[in-house]
A and B are shown apart, each in its own frame.
Chain A
Amino acid sequence: MRRVGVFVCHCGLNIAGTVNIKEITDAASKTPDVVVAADHRYLCSEPGQALIKDNIKQHRLDAIVVAACSPAMHEVTFRNVARAAGLNRYQSEIANIREQCSWVHDNIEKATEKAHVIIRQSIEKVKLNELLDPITVPVTRKALVIGGGIAGIRAALDVANSGHQVYLVEKTGSIGGRMAQLSETFPTLDCSICILGPLMVEAYRNPNIKILRLSEVEEVKGFIGNFKVKVRQAPVYVDETKCNSCAECVKVCPAEVPNEFDSDLTWRKAIYIPFAQAVPPAYVLDEKSCLGLLPQACGECKKACDKLGMSCINLDAHPETHELEVGAIISATGYEMYDAARLTEYGYGIYPDVMTSLEFERMLSASGPTSGIIRRPSDGRIPKEVVFIQCAGQREPETALAYCSKICCMYTARHAMLFHHKVPDGQAYVFYMDIRAGGKGYEEFVKRCQEEGGVLYLRGRVAKVHEEDDKLVVKGVDTLSGKTVQIHADVVVLAVGMVPSQGSRELANTLKASVDENGFFAEAHPKLRPLESATAGIFLAGAGQAPKDIPETVAQASGAASKALNLLSSPTLEREPTVARIVNEQCSGCGICVPACPFEALSMNTEKRIAEVAEALCEGCGTCVASCPSGALSLRNLTDTQIMAMIRAGSG
């Protein structure tokens, strides 16, 4: 015989306006095992909570049901109330009579009847709840940051500066990411590498940060507080501790390939420095373009280096696997540009003077392929008329990306103004749909670009770009005047969208984190938990989670770092105890549950020939329970018996 108390919240008129509170409170009080039922205008308020506590003590309750708003709102609140009154916190259940009853119905009689059913269900459930306590597990107080862009660097620095060790894993030969490629940043027109460079060096010099370049996460096992990570590092042919960037190796290297840092607008050697400010400041040997590693055929770089007595180059280097133990992981994998060649109406890849915004960005950069002079890729001439097409392949659910990349309005304004600065007698045109300039100083910046740059903004889209006598004919529309327009341009710049970096989806699988419909890392809650993935202990920063600009990225990176630090600050952590449990006697040892578990929490004990649950690994989804043919598995506080009781409670 249980002693249950039922508490019904009016929530002002939110519930009381549609549900007859008196009727359901009376009905609840007559339910078997219910000792007391009471109501209050706002149960979440101090007096409301006091009412519950008083009743628990006065009636010696051993379980409570709170009929109020969704458990997403106040489940924790009322568990704490129960605990404060001396109950086990898992002896509290919520009956959601607001979001799923009073707010969605208007017939008082029907809503009252339904609220009563919902409360009955919760009573049946709470009566079968076990006494549980959170599980305590130890924490490895180190962090792993995946991705060495501005988000990863910021997050790594924040964690490291708090005294914890950080592994910063970067896929390419240098940290710096996309931000290193940019010329100036909006809205301040800071030189991008000038503000990023010092941070890169700071990360390199920080004794708590270990940078693993040319590396990728291969395997992640374990769980929050105790991850075991395997990182595969490609062969490091050039020893970064010895290399002094003398560039003798580059001079002799015979292999030339397009330089990805310059968006393939220039060439680099097979042995190269990713860019002038690269960190670690060392050369990289690109296996794919090297003329002969296996078998060694060329070796000119090594000879040149050895001649100087440096011996930094080891052509026999092998890939290495680092096994790391960390407590928290921050994923900061960033973005890449949508493939503009897929937008066939604009002729990217066919007409050399149709370029992407990132290519134009490189051209604006003083260290870029043209040393900051804007030139037409086709003939090197300085363009006079430039057309910028915003939303190229964006906000197009039927034809390309459905979403808005958020930064293009800003950088396009900047591009148009910088073009005007560099080519004063030139003319820039911008096709736009809306100008989205929300952000500190952003609207002012766009207006300034428009005014100073003499840019002609045309509200509409472009249908087609084609070549005509060494000009690009741009056919578009200005919807404000209702006229179709045609511009003979020298260069067309496509503001293509941001897409998740290649391999994000695979990494998400490895991390057991999920991605959204566009392939970006999914946050645990879009409003309230934007820095965390749904998997405990995996945090998110930067454009790998959603398109965002640099300030937002940096803010999110620091936020994710603080979340990680929160976790690393204590030697142990608590987890929800509502995990799977196995009754050994009932287990037939069939092993069906083992592959059903997505978290490898189930395994076969070969000696006893039964399955075992590793509680620390169990996330509590209950998939194994539904798969168990002998009923040996159950999910604590959501057992089959409880669900059956709830089904019955609802039907009568």
Chain B
Amino acid sequence: MAHQISAATVTSPLLRKVERISGQNLSLCYQCGKCSATCPLAPQMDLMPHLVIRYLQLGLEQVFDAKSYWLCATCFSCETQCPRGLDVSKVCEALRTIKLRNDLRDLKIEKPSPEMPQQGLVSAFRKLSPY
């Protein structure tokens, strides 16, 4: 079914919420794709970073079905390259945050290696769990 576009699209609650939590203005994005071109994880993503932004611009809730924003490693390559000064990693973080705040899903960790530095574990908990 076609996605219905209306005046409400540009002010969708989803878009507003993501903008508020991420602190990013998504209307800056003109879909040049440089974020996707530079993202080291893009080849493993089901929705390219620029499409994550596009879905949000159109208020498409299906953005949550993608695994892209869970794969974002916050490496800031996109932030460095974006010609319009957008930080997609913050948008991904906002999507994760919304998801985590809504359903307290637990991070499932296979037994971590004893050599794994603490910073890895702490980062993972901060990024991928609601705590």
- Listed in ascending order, the chain A residues whose CB lies under 8 Å from chain B are 345, 391, 395-400, 433, 459-464, 475-479, 482-484
Q: Are A477 and B83 in contact (CB under 8 A)?
A: no
B7-15, B29-37, B94-102, B113-121: which lies at the interface: B29-37
Contact A482 B32 (CB under 8 A): no
**Which among A398, A464, A478 has the highest number of chain B CB atoms within 10 Å?**
A398
Contact status A399-B83, CB under 8 Å:
yes
Q: How far is the CA of A263 from the CA of B126 in the complex (A)?
A: 52
Q: Within the assembled complex, what's the spacing in Å between the Cα atoms of A433 and B34?
A: 10
B77, chain A: closest CB distance, angstroms = 8
* Contact A398 B37, beta carbon cutoff 8 Å: no
Which residues of chain B have C-beta atoms less than 8 A from A397's C-beta?
83-85
Cβ–Cβ contact A484 & B43, under 8 A: yes
Q: Once the chains bind, are B33 and A461 in contact (CB under 8 Å)?
A: yes
Contact of B36 among A391, A460, A464 (CB under 8 A): A460
Assess whether A460 is in contact with B37, with CB atoms less than 8 Å apart: yes
Q: Does B81 contact A (CB under 8 A)?
A: yes
Interface size class of B (residues with CB under 8 A): 20 to 34
Q: Nearest chain A CB to B98's CB is how many angstroms away? A: 23
The answer to whether B48 and A482 have CB atoms under 8 Å apart is: yes
Contact across chains for A476 and B81 when beta carbons are under 8 A apart: no
Please determine whether A484 and B83 come into contact, CB atoms closer than 8 angstroms.
no
Q: Does B51 contact A (CB under 8 A)?
A: yes
Q: Name the one of A398, A464, A475 contacting B83, with C-beta atoms under 8 angstroms.
A: A398
User: Would A484 and B32 be within 8 Å (CB), given that A398-B84, A399-B83 are in contact?
Assistant: no
A-B pairs with beta carbons under 8 Å apart, 26 shown: A395-B30, A395-B83, A397-B83, A397-B84, A398-B83, A398-B84, A399-B81, A399-B82, A399-B83, A400-B83, A433-B30, A461-B32, A461-B34, A462-B34, A463-B34, A463-B77, A464-B38, A475-B38, A476-B33, A476-B37, A477-B37, A477-B50, A478-B33, A479-B32, A483-B48, A484-B37
Q: How far is the CA of A433 from the CA of B82 in the complex (A)?
A: 14
What 3 A-B pairs have minimum CB-CB distances, sorted nearest first?
A396-B83, A463-B38, A398-B85
User: Chain A: which residue is nearest B42 at the CB level?
Assistant: A484
- Tell me the bound Cα distance from A398 to B80 in angstroms: 10
Enumerate chain B interface residues (CB-CB to A < 8 A).
30-34, 36-39, 42-43, 47-48, 50-51, 77, 81-85
Chain A residues, Cβ within 8 Å of B30? 395, 433
Q: A477 contacts B84, CB within 8 Å?
A: no
Given the complex, which residues of A lie within 8 Å of B33, measured CB to CB?
459-461, 476-479
> CA separation between A461 and B42, bound complex, in Å?
14
B34 contacts A477, C-beta separation under 8 Å:
yes
Question: How far apart are the CA atoms of A471 and B33 in the complex, in Å?
Answer: 24
Chain B proximity of A587: nearest CB distance (Å): 53
Min CB gap A294→B, angstroms:
48
Q: A401 to nearest B CB, angstroms?
A: 10
**From A393, which residue of chain B is reached at the shortest CB distance?**
B83
Shortest Cβ distance from residue A236 to the other chain B in the assembled complex, whole angstroms: 45
Contact A460 B32 (CB under 8 A): yes
CB-based contact A433/B42 at 8 Å: no
**Whole-angstrom distance between the Cβ of B1 and the nearest chain A Cβ:** 21
Contacts of A395 in B (CB 8 A): 30, 32, 83
A645 to B79, CA, bound (A): 54
Q: Point out the residues of chain A lying under 8 angstroms from B50, CB to CB.
A: 477, 479
A245 to B37, CA, bound (A): 52
How far is A477 from B37 in the complex, measured between Cα atoms in Å? Answer: 5
User: Do A345 and B81 form a contact, CB below 8 Å, given A479-B33, A479-B50, A482-B51?
Assistant: yes
Q: Which residues of A are found within 8 Å of B43, using beta-carbon distances?
A: 484
Q: By the criterion CB–CB under 8 Å, are B85 and A477 in contact?
A: no
What's the nearest-Cβ distance from chain B to residue A651, in Å? 40
Question: Which residues from chain B contact A478 at a C-beta distance below 8 Å?
Answer: 33
The distance from the CB of A638 to the nearest CB of chain B, in whole angstroms, is 41
Chain A residue with the shortest CB-CB distance to B77: A463
Give the docked Cα–Cα distance between A433 and B43 (Å): 21
A314 → B minimal CB distance (Å)? 52
CB contacts (< 8 Å) of B83 on chain A: these are: 395-400, 461
A483 to B39, CA, bound (A): 12
In the complex the two chains form, is A477's CB within 8 Å of B81's CB?
Answer: no
How far, in whole Å, are A461 and B35 apart by their CA atoms in the complex? Answer: 9
Looking at the assembled complex, report how far the CB atom of A429 sits from the nearest CB atom of chain B, in whole angstroms: 14
Q: Is the CB of B37 within 8 A of A463?
A: yes
| Min C-beta distance of B112 to chain A, whole Å | 30
Task: Determine whether the beta carbon of B36 is less than 8 Å from that of A477.
Answer: yes
Chain A residues contacting B42 (CB-CB under 8 Å) are: 477, 484
Residue of A433, A476, A484 with highest tally of chain B CB at under 10 A: A484
Please name all residues of chain A whose beta carbon is closer than 8 Å to the beta carbon of B48 when the two chains form the complex: 477, 479, 482-484
Query: Measured between alpha carbons, how far is A369 from B125 in the docked complex, in Å?
Result: 60
CB distance from B17 to the nearest CB of A (A): 24
